[in-house]
Structure 1
Amino acid sequence: MTSLVVGLVAFVGNGKSVQVVVDGDARVVQTFGGTVSEVLDAANVTVTANDLVVPSLTSEVDDGAAIQVNKATAVDVTLNGAETVVHTTGDTVGELVDELGVARTSVISASTETRLTTLSSTLSISTPKSVTIAVDGERRSLETTVNTVEELLAEAGITLGDEDRVSVPVTSSLVTGMGLKVTRVETDKQVTETEPINFSSTEEETDELLVGEQEILQAGVPGERTKVFSVTVIDGKETKRELLSEKVTLEPVNEIIAIGTGEEPEPVTEPAEPAEPADEPAAGPAPAGGAWQALAQCESGGNWSINSGNGYYGGLQFSESSWLGAGGGQYAPLPHLAAPAEQIATAEVLKQNGGWGHWPSCSAKLGLR
């Protein structure tokens, strides 16, 4: 506190007696001064523009009047991260906070009861701020007293990746009403994908099948190609991709189809030469009537044990390949060695794959197709 040294001034004519109170220290001043400023000069009291003087410096002073002087204190303040010097006539931190218009819910580095003259360090004040953050597909509203964007992200538990972007620099100061956007960015992310490779198909002619007949000799199998891409992903959405490599990881297997070129043989009516004893057909009567009997009559003259030497055997004139392919080998190595019923059973299996078309000429004549 400033000590006032007030000399006694002889009261002559218009002399006045005025009480001067400086920061609670009262003194009586005898003066001829007509204004507050003149009285304070007479009392050796120096004031600045930051001090509070009541009444004002230009006010006239009457005898017996009182002048109140509150000297301003310079306080180093960091307000929301910004450093400044505040001149205040308040005595306590709480009075300074009120003078600044700062909410009492602010984070303050000293208690509100602390006298300003006892502060040994900068007074830090962080005011409450309402901000919003858009991140990871959601919008979050936050109340905070931290001062920078970086501190807010840490407080909210938001970790930034090396390539993530924030709509303002992380060193920016926060202000109430601020909106922030965090953009997640991932570049050079490798993605592996596979795609099928279609197989090709080739045809091979064979006279072991009749014209119009087909048989798959080798089934086709698709192959596989593996590709590796470098992908850029922004907020979960792919925005760019670049092919890094590709290779065939599974070769396709080509399909091979046998196409029949064999001509339908003319029915043989002459009995075949007797076969060797080991070549005797299996015993059994020819089935009477029915489509198969009629077909056998057309194909071989109804001779179920015929072997004419033209590559077709039995009453229904099987080729060796069609006989074995339909499972006839379980009965006999060649059709004419099997019983008529066994030949018909094998023909039923053959008919399930291709229908009456295996006997194109005779089935057409008989109206079977």
Structure 2
Amino acid sequence: MVALILGLVAFVGTNKSVVLAVDGETSDIMTFGGTVEEVLAKADIQLTAADRVVPAPDTEVLDGSRIEVTTAKTVNVNVDGTGHTIQTTGSTVADLITELRVSANSSVSASLDTSLAKLSGLSISTPKTVLLVADGKSTEIETTAETVGAVLEEAGIEVGPADRLSAPARADLADGMVLKVTRVVTGTQDTVTEAVPFETRSVEDPELLEGEKQVTTAGVPGERTLVFDTVVLDGREVSRSLVSEKLSAEPVTETVAVGTKKRPAAPAPAGGTAPSGGSWAALAQCESGGNWHINTGNGYSGGLQFSVQSWLGAGGGAYAPIASEATPEQQIAVAENLRANGGWGHWPSCARKLGLL
């Protein structure tokens, strides 16, 4: 009887009443366990490393103790496009946000008071600073948008089908990103008109003297119309391609009559016969030292020292631009034309020396 009484006293002395709370559900249990770990083992509660137990598993259990167990939950979290599998003992989305230490200004796919037990996945977009360059403006934007397309929509930027983006619209947004929208305008046509040069043809005219020319039909330039397709980037043309070409006005060919009529012989000088080749040679010897191709740059050239005006006026242009580039015979022929209108007075000093005046 004494032994029975002592055993009963021992039983009553070691038996404890403990409050056990598992994920918020409480129960009162009677236990002989000495530590929290032993109590949980006898209650058939299996713990993982991520679970939270208060007090610690090696804490001694006293009568009336309270043990709280929070089992870890697995949540699939996507942060700024990167997926993570998180083990957490938090109970709400707010707890998880705090645990992950993301910005309070982040965009979250579920309300902060949502229970993690009812949540299989969560998407979080943290605030990012983006430089948006579009339509001639650069704007710095702070946003929680997840993609390039989303931040463009948020900023009210419409992107046309031909416009270009520096990153695809579906690309994830990154902090510090520079996003450029290039406006592309195609299908615009530019019409240009340009002159078409006329041709010149020469026609022999027996009524004009040799060396003489006369325009009988004036040349008129034509006109061509060109149509181009253009490509314009941000208001600046970068390329064009010809799509059509049309001759809108034909050019008119210029006709020039060239004299073929032989010139009449020069009249004889007042003192007698027409000058001989020897007279011209003597005159050239006096004027230029007999050098028929001299050109000193003083405005006169050739053996008989023609000015450009007198050379061209007497028909020398039919042979050469200036006298020094013509043959002696050609220079004498032009000199004959000149002497026929004004006599030897065109060479007053040398003609006087040679007795031709």
TM-score in terms of structure 1 length: 0.55
Per-residue CA distance 1:225-279 (angstroms, 9 max, x = gap)? 333445566675646x65443232221111122333445556899xxxxxxxxxx
Look up the match of 1:61.
Answer: 60
Q: Distance in 2 between matches of 1:229 and 1:355?
A: 47
Look up the match of 1:365.
Answer: 344
Per-residue CA distance 1:91-127 (angstroms, 9 max, x = gap)? 5543332123221112346665x36389899866432
1:234-313 → structure 2 map (5 Å cutoff): 236=236, 238=238, 243-265=242-264
Identity in percent: 43
Structure 2: runs of 5+ lacking an equivalent: 1-9, 271-308, 316-336, 349-357
CA contact (8 A) 1:206 1:261 kept: yes
1:183, CA displacement in angstroms? 5.5
Q: Distance in 2 between matches of 1:202 and 1:125?
A: 84
Q: Distance in 2 between matches of 1:189 and 1:220?
A: 36
Q: Distance in 1 between matches of 2:119 and 2:95?
A: 18
Look up the match of 2:217.
Answer: 218
Code of the aligned partner of 2:105: T
Look up the match of 2:148.
Answer: 149
Q: Distance in 1 between matches of 2:156 and 2:177?
A: 18
Q: What is the root-mean-square deviation in Å for CA atoms of aligned residues?
A: 4.8
Q: Distance in 2 between matches of 1:365 and 1:210?
A: 22
1:362, CA displacement in angstroms? 1.6
Q: Distance in 2 between matches of 1:365 and 1:157?
A: 93
Structure 1: runs of 5+ lacking an equivalent: 1-9, 270-296, 298-351
1:89-128 → structure 2 map (5 Å cutoff): 89-108=89-108, 112=112, 114=113, 116=115, 125-128=124-127
Q: Distance in 1 between matches of 2:143 and 2:343?
A: 93
Q: Distance in 2 between matches of 1:20 and 1:353?
A: 131
1:12, CA displacement in angstroms? 5.4
Q: Distance in 2 between matches of 1:363 and 1:29?
A: 149
CA pair 115-168 structure 1, distance change in 2 beyond 3 A: closer
CA pair 226-242 structure 1, distance change in 2 beyond 3 A: same
CA contact (8 A) 2:203 2:256 kept: yes
Code of the aligned partner of 2:95: E
Structure number with higher helix proportion:
2
Q: Distance in 2 between matches of 1:353 and 1:32?
A: 142
Q: Distance in 1 between matches of 2:201 and 2:195?
A: 19
CA contact (8 A) 1:130 1:177 kept: yes
Per-residue CA distance 1:130-159 (angstroms, 9 max, x = gap)? 334565677654321112222122223333
Look up the match of 2:297.
Answer: none
Per-residue CA distance 1:60-119 (angstroms, 9 max, x = gap)? 53546653333556778775578988664445543332123221112346665x363898
- Aligned-partner SS, 1:33: coil
Look up the match of 1:204.
Answer: 203
TM-score in terms of structure 2 length: 0.56
Q: Distance in 2 between matches of 1:139 and 1:200?
A: 56
Per-residue CA distance 1:311-353 (angstroms, 9 max, x = gap)? xxxxxxxxxxxxxxxxxxxxxxxxxxxxxxxxxxxxxxxxx99
Report how many aligned residue pairs link the two structures: 277
Q: Does 1:36 align with 2:15?
A: no
Code of the aligned partner of 1:362: N
Q: Distance in 1 between matches of 2:245 and 2:254?
A: 25
